[in-house]
Amino acid sequence: MTDENKKPSMAINYNDCGFETLAIHAGASVDPTTGARSTPIHPSTAYVFNDPDHAAELFNLQTFGFIYSRMTNPTVSVFEERMAALEGGRAAVASSSGHSVQFLTAATLLEPGDNFIASKHLYGGSITQFSMSFKKLGWNCCFVDMHTPDLINKAITSKTKFIFIEALANPGGVVLDIQKIATIAKSHKIPLIVDNTLATPYLLKPLEWGADIVIHSATKFIGGHGNAMAGVVVEGGTFDWFESGKYPGLTLPEPAYHGLNFAETFGSFGFSMKLRAVGLRDYGPCLSATSAWNILQGIETLPLRMDRHCSNALSVAKWLEIHPAVNWVSYGGLEKSPYKSLVNKYLPKGAGAVFTFGLKGGFDAGIKLVKNVNLFSHLANIGDTRSLIIHPASTTHRQLSKQQQVSAGAAPDVVRLSVGIETVDDIINDLDKAMYNL
């Protein structure tokens, strides 16, 4: 074959691609053995080495490749690369759930006696993990109202290692000024970690607003179909781990790898490599290949789903806003929302699909509502294609005190909706019938 007849290269330059293209193609390629276009599921637990030298190089982190699926897996790697591309990050590491990736992130950055600052507007399970389970490991969390910069500055001490917030708070839909909080974090030489689960990178990319690390419960909107659990952490690659001297786990020799210095050796993805090579290796909450494959199928339609989620949620919120049984609606997309200006700044494509509202009948009315719905599913999840409903005070936040419930936006009168992608009139009709005579 002459040079003129050669087929041109089909390699995709992802730097030039739009979000929708990345959601379908990033991290994936045609299978070289079978020609399969869809990413295969690789259920193998371990991978054959070329020779003893190749094995040694892999174990010494001198070359990249697959050793054991607790740390790396070909299907999981596609998911990781795709999430890094969608968030605009340097590298990503996946794990078995959102909670496990929060643990791995903390374990990579914290030493016993250290603390971190977290928004008081968090998912109830995160509040419990941070305030109770983490405390048993010697990690302390200070919860702060992130709307007040002075409170954030006052809470930071020499032992504070990071600030943690949710881009869109679950369940209350609280929107924070990420750029302002990032400025505070930078002034103290600590990273800002943003949970972007509810917004997804389609609506918001926290790294573009100064965040250093982004995490997801990919179980939710990223997967989108309620059929697989996963977590993922994306490293921005711009934080200087040496500057403050606060991160010896990244900047000092690692005994488990013959004195290797992660931040020095791997530079802009040193945090990710430490989390994978030590965190996943030693704690083990790895993501299965099958779960990664299921999540990948969901990512391909993420932009389409989020557009419908947001438009449906806005219609439902507007309907609830004037319903006689409803006291208030907390949705940033509403014109009367105190977060409307922040939504315009950070979330111009939509304010997400999860929000809360308050029933005039209080706790009892909330219980009755979740019993009466038919199209809505009463369960403890969000981000499904199906519309979901829950009464947080009696379920997801019941482990909290009443004061903590109120602070977390889960008071007794609160009902949380995760609005799905069904026909919006059907969603509203289901709520209308269920709310009759509340």
Domain with residue 240: its CATH number is: 3.40.640.10
Tell whether 10 is covered by a domain.
no
Mean pLDDT per 10-residue interval, the chain, length 438 residues: 43 82 94 90 95 92 93 97 98 98 98 97 90 97 95 97 94 91 98 98 98 98 97 98 96 94 96 97 97 98 98 98 96 96 97 96 94 96 96 80 78 94 98 92
175 and 285 both lie in a single domain: yes
Instruction: Give the distance, in angstroms, between the CA of residue 125 and the centroid of all CA atoms in the same chain.
Output: 14
Strand 231-235 relative to strand 213-217, pairing: antiparallel
Output the six-digit token pair for 89: 């990050």
Residue 393, pLDDT score: 86
- What is the domain range of residue 169? 24-298
Tell whether 11 is covered by a domain.
no
Residue 430, pLDDT score: 98
288 and 311 both lie in a single domain: no
Tell whether 91 is covered by a domain.
yes
Is the alpha carbon torsion for 69, 75, 78, 84 positive or negative? negative
Element (H, E) at 243: none
pTM over 0.85: yes
Hey, which bits of 109-230 come out as E strands?
Answer: 115-119, 140-144, 160-166, 192-195, 213-217
Output the six-digit token pair for 184: 């505070």
Tell whether 1 is covered by a domain.
no
58 and 196 both lie in a single domain: yes
Residue 9, pLDDT score: 43
Residue 78, pLDDT score: 97
Amino acid type, 379: L
User: Which residue from 413, 383, 408 is spatially nearest to 197, judged by alpha carbons?
Assistant: 383
Tell whether 9 is covered by a domain.
no
Q: How far apart are CA 411 and CA 191, in angstroms?
A: 31
